[in-house]
Amino acid sequence: MSGILMPKPDAATLSRRDEIVADMRIIVPGEGVVDAVNEMRAFESDGLTAYRQLPMVVVLPETVAQVSRLLKYCNERNIRVVPRGSGTSLSGGALPLEDAVLLVMSRFNRIIEIDYPNRVVVAQPGVTNLGITTAVEQDGFYYAPDPSSQIACSIGGNVAENSGGVHCLKYGLTANNVLGIEMVLMNGEVVRLGGKHLEAEGYDLLGVMTGSEGLLGVVTEVAVRILKKPETARALLIGFPTSEEGGQCVADIIGAGIIPGGMEMMDRPAIHAAEDFVHAGYPLDVEALLIVELDGPGVEVDHLIGLVEAIAYKNGATTCRMSQSEQERLTFWAGRKAAFPAVGRISPDYYCMDGTIPRKELPRVLAGMRELSGQYRLGVANVFHAGDGNLHPLILYDANVPGDLEKAEAFGADILRLCVKVGGVLTGEHGVGVEKRDLMPEMFNEIDLDQQMRVKCAFDPNHLLNPGKVFPQLRRCAELGRMHVHRGQMAFPDIPRF
């Protein structure tokens, strides 16, 4: 791998590979262990395919007891473990390590319980995001968070990355829709956090786990909130002559107190790519396209549509079209959800990233991205969750051109620095992984990062779970607890020491 530094492989672990693989076959019998090089190729990267690394061995357990035994075994022998769901992560969070066991949770693929009175589904982590909605839609329910990869991404991976989607503006990210989890710690201990109840006592450990990117534990069961399908849902396609006018329309809609079910924006390259791919009926003579979905009681939706149309035309909209049927609404969204593969048809390669900004900064950041595009001489197609400021720039490059990948990465890093500069954050839903790891100091100082590392140490003191991800510098937990003495004097000497 080029471009990123990962933890140095442990020679002692690699020298015992045959022994470790044999022991894995005892813990997970049958076909649950993959150690042949060609068969492990399927697991060498996640959605961030620019980085690839074969694992030491791939293990696919089927029971909680097997996960517990595996983690305890690795903990006692100082063997690293990288958890993996469906591998759709776009930040390299599931990138294997040469000396690590790749723990793949795809066999945990059953829905355990559907509880309509409490509006809860309990599922194993390998169940797909869309699979939860499919299981309950015949009774008029659905699961709200809907990443573009929802047909493939797993609910356990959604918890690890705190995934969002086009409807997270109104209904929240994974963190707002997960009620409880069962997880296995690195020492093999099985614990439960939360449950079917809405609030848990004590510290919000469920909140700590959601978005922890596989650094703290391995999720083996998830309880999620399901919602009743809205009585009415309609989508508007609104075209603008400039992205800045579209961005201002977004800010004005939210500023008017309107919270759409979803509000997405695409620029000209993304519009044309999606339309050629899906034929959703998008206008091709605009620079920016806004998709606004309004849901709820029919009378309320009709009223809100009128307000949104007025705001759109006030901001210079040149076209405004409303879905006339449920099928047409779904077609509008199909183009947006297919934008990523669609862009793959117009460029040999693209680098998909995310960052989040305050909504009011959208025009400024879009202008900044255009300037950077000219500076790096690389195209960029923009698709983003406009309502909550979560940007998804798709940087277009050709991996066969020497230096193009490095330019794309530098371009992406500058976009993220711009996001932080205007008051935003490095990621909205893709996670930090390895992609944004070395940019963490742009947002956090050393004290901040050490405090985050202390949480990691509380769950995994030997740094065996997914090392090399999120934190730009690995520190041993003992180093964080060292007491600094300067000229014979400790800091704050008046504080009692225990």
Kindly give the residue spans of alpha helices, DSSP state H, lying in 180-232: 205-209
The reported pLDDT for the residue numbered 125 is 98
* Residue 339 in tokens: 């934008």
Would you say the CATH fold of 347-437 matches that of 232-340? yes
Query: CA nearest 13: which of 59, 103, 92, 74?
Result: 74
DSSP E strands in 215-261: the ranges are 218-225, 227-228, 232-240
pTM here is: 0.91
Mean pLDDT by 10-residue block, N- to C-terminus, for the chain (498 residues)? 79 98 97 97 94 97 98 98 96 96 98 97 98 97 94 97 91 95 98 84 90 98 97 96 90 94 94 94 96 96 97 97 95 90 91 91 89 96 89 94 95 97 94 95 94 95 96 78 53 46
Query: Cβ distance 253 to 169 under 8 Å?
Result: no
CATH topology of domain 111-228: 3.30.465
The CB-side HSE value for 52 (13 A sphere, CA atoms) comes to: 7
In whole angstroms, what is the distance from residue 209 CA to residue 178 CA? 11
Distances (CA, A) of 318 to 8, 240, 242, 283, 307: 56, 6, 10, 10, 16
- Domain spanning 11-104 has what CATH number? 3.30.43.10
Q: Which amino acid is at 495?
A: I
* Residue 293 in tokens: 């979905």
* Residue 424 in tokens: 């935003």
Query: Cβ distance 256 to 205 under 8 Å?
Result: no
* Residue 299 in tokens: 């009378």
Q: What is the dihedral of CA 417, 423, 427, 429, to 10 degrees?
A: -160
Q: What are the sequence ranges of the domains in the chain? A: 11-104, 111-228, 232-340, 347-437, 438-474
The reported pLDDT for the residue numbered 35 is 97
- Domain spanning 347-437 has what CATH number? 3.30.70.2740
Query: What is the number of other CB atoms lying within 10 angstroms of the CB of residue 22?
Result: 12
Query: CA nearest 193: which of 202, 204, 180, 184?
Result: 180
Q: What is the dihedral of CA 280, 283, 289, 292, to 10 degrees?
A: -60
Sign of torsion over alpha carbons 368, 374, 375, 380:
positive
The reported pLDDT for the residue numbered 486 is 54
Q: What are phi and psi for residue 361, nearest 5 degrees?
A: -90, 5
Report the helix count and the strand count for the chain, using DSSP H and E.
Answer: 17, 21
CATH class of domain segment(s) 232-340:
alpha beta
In whole angstroms, what is the distance from residue 496 CA to residue 482 CA? 16
3-state secondary structure of 409: helix
Cβ-based neighbours of 101, under 8 Å, separated by 6 or more: 20, 24, 55, 56, 57, 58, 59, 70, 74, 79, 80, 81, 82
Cβ-based neighbours of 270, under 8 Å, separated by 6 or more: 339, 342, 343, 381, 382, 383, 394
The reported pLDDT for the residue numbered 386 is 87
The reported pLDDT for the residue numbered 5 is 85
User: Which residue has 């993304």 as its token pair?
Assistant: 270
Distances (CA, A) of 168 to 156, 246, 277, 385: 18, 20, 25, 9
